[in-house]
Structure 1
Amino acid sequence: MIPAQFDYVRPSSVDEAVTALSEGIDNGDEVKVLGGGQSLLPVLRLRLAAPTLVVDLGGIAELRGIREDGDHIVVGAMTTHHEVVRDGLLREHVGLLPDAAATVADPQIRHRGTLGGSVSHADPAGDLAAVCLALAAEFLLVGPDGRRTVAAEDFFVDLFTTALDETEVLAEVRFPRYTGWRHHYEKFNRTAQAWSMVGVAAALKVHGGAVAEARVALTNMGATPIRATAVERALVGRQASEDVVRAAAELATEGTSAPSDADAAADYREHLAKVLTGRAVLSLL
């Protein structure tokens, strides 16, 4: 349980981090970026990865914090799950994010794990990627050629794969405001520390008892988080009754490709997706 030997760099700015990544790649190194370390360190200790260079973002102050920027709430990539859970600005305007972050693992993990590290790792069982997709988040990436913004629907490419280039750093995640929306994250796992078998991120805007807008995304129902657009269409414009919600929840598996593994078979995950979608939406009504 000891990692293979590697060189270690701890830059103090985003530009220094980009330079370290670029120089490492040019030198032929296999490079890994260290955020909170809650995903990377176990992989290193099991020697499932053996990088020759690790670039630690923990010393970059500009990557931390939560702020307002016009119509968006901006979360620095190195902001911890614990900080996300406790932040009043997020709870008021992007409440689904702290809802989901509060379910991540246990308090020790939440104090070390980061939003940027979680979404960059792109584990399909990770909870926060589905939230970013549901809420139409944008990711600010910084690399040798400057800055670019990638929408959540384009950021998650495949299993453990994102749009991040190997010389780029995820600097921040930008969320539109969802002030006044109802929100809930529902998940099913075997223990508090285990990854989600299935999770459902749901946010609704309700007017006069009818669903005006709906955003729903699924965790661990494919290689990437999946937007449950069929559920959304079945809810919008309808009176928010239990019958309507349960009928909409039956559509949750449309467009999904649930995996089978040691935790659950694909058909069981499909069952969970429908049940949890119903629970998540009904909890908002």
Structure 2
Amino acid sequence: MIPPEFDYAAPATVEEALALLAEHGDEAKVMSGGQSLLPVLRMRLNAPGIVVDISRIEEIKGITDTGDAIRIGAGATYQDVLDSDLISEHLALLHTALTEVADAQIRHRGTVCGALVHADPAGDVGAPVLALEGRMVIQGQDGERTVEASDFFVDLFETAVGEDELLVAVEIPKHTGWGAHYEKFVRVSHQWAIIGIAAAVRVEGGTIAEARVGLTNMGATPLRATAVEEALVGKEATEEAVAEACAQVGEGTDPPSDLNGQADYRKHVAGVLTRRAVLAAAGA
């Protein structure tokens, strides 16, 4: 299907992009890699008056070490992140999850921040960033503000970014030395996750000292399984102990019911996949 007609602008700076958003209001849509927006336009699910392409803004393309965190700019593609030694060393969970994103073509075009602000609950980025307690850097004409990942995802395809603002970066605290695993359940390769479990675990002497668990497609937004995290702390990294801590991961979630499975089925599978993800992350 052919998208409806729209104007197009490719600003060279964040300030220029923000001026365009302020001028056009809810008639404007931001595009970075275009891997989320373009399919929406082709299906005519949205008809913006103007598309503001931020892919040429050099100042938001970097991946940098800020000391206690890694900052990923809004222009950094999935592949940029996968190729970064900083990510593989300090954010193994994000690196592992991004290897499950679609195919090579999409990974070279799509961006991490674009996926975050698109906020598809079946996407592979939100759960690991939420589990790792990322901070979203949002810029408007009055300056920058920072929003914790726990407050960023508001509802289905809705985030804390205002229509006159840009998500310019995500900053994720370092989890150096943590084991990590992303368990993604799909029927065919490159599919959106039916369920995904993002697990990061720090083990000391065979015992789980800290754990982070994020859930993909178990509700209208990415979710964090804090009860499971708390139950894992102090447990030996054995199958029996981990299975007990992960058994109730579905409680308090609201997964969809569709052709891929009913909600109760998803909750059951989530328990199995969480056990597998945590054990893999713990090296057990």
Query: TM-score, normalising length from structure 2?
Result: 0.97
Residue type of the alignment partner of 1:107 = A
Correspondence 1:191-270 to 2 at 5 A: 191-270=188-267
Aligned-pair distance for 1:67?
0.8
Whether the aligned pair in 2 keeps the contact of 1:230 and 1:254 (CA below 8 Å) is no
Give the equivalent residue in structure 1 for 2:7: 7
Residue type of the alignment partner of 1:23 = E
| CA displacement, residues 179-217 of structure 1 (integer Å, 9 cap, x when unaligned) | 111011111012222100000000011111111100001
- Residue 251 of structure 1 aligns to a residue in which SS? coil
| CA displacement, residues 152-187 of structure 1 (integer Å, 9 cap, x when unaligned) | 000000000000000001111001110111011111
Residue type of the alignment partner of 1:124 = P
Residue segments in structure 1 that go unaligned for 5+ positions in a row: none
1:51 aligned to 2:45? no
1:16 aligned to 2:13? no
- Residue 212 of structure 1 aligns to a residue in which SS? strand
| CA displacement, residues 2-50 of structure 1 (integer Å, 9 cap, x when unaligned) | 110011110001111111100111xxx5111101111110110110111
Correspondence 1:66-85 to 2 at 5 A: 66-85=63-82
- Residue 127 of structure 1 aligns to a residue in which SS? coil
CA-atom RMSD in angstroms: 0.9
Residue segments in structure 2 that go unaligned for 5+ positions in a row: none
CA distance in 1, matches of 2:119, 2:258: 18
Give the equivalent residue in structure 2 for 1:180: 177
- Equivalent of residue 154 in structure 2, options 152, 157, 169: 157
- Residue 180 of structure 2 aligns to a residue in which SS? strand
Q: Which stretches of structure 1, 4 residues or longer, exceed 3 Å deviation after superposition? A: none
Give the equivalent residue in structure 1 for 2:142: 145
1:103 aligned to 2:100? yes
Whether the aligned pair in 1 keeps the contact of 2:60 and 2:76 (CA below 8 Å) is yes
Residue type of the alignment partner of 1:95 = A
CA distance in 2, matches of 1:77, 1:248: 36
Aligned-pair distance for 1:262?
2.5
Aligned-pair distance for 1:242?
1.0
Whether the aligned pair in 2 keeps the contact of 1:228 and 1:254 (CA below 8 Å) is no
| CA displacement, residues 41-77 of structure 1 (integer Å, 9 cap, x when unaligned) | 0110110111111100111011112110121111111
CA distance in 2, matches of 1:229, 1:172: 25
Whether the aligned pair in 1 keeps the contact of 2:235 and 2:242 (CA below 8 Å) is no
Give the equivalent residue in structure 2 for 1:32: 29
Whether the aligned pair in 2 keeps the contact of 1:212 and 1:236 (CA below 8 Å) is yes
Identity %: 55
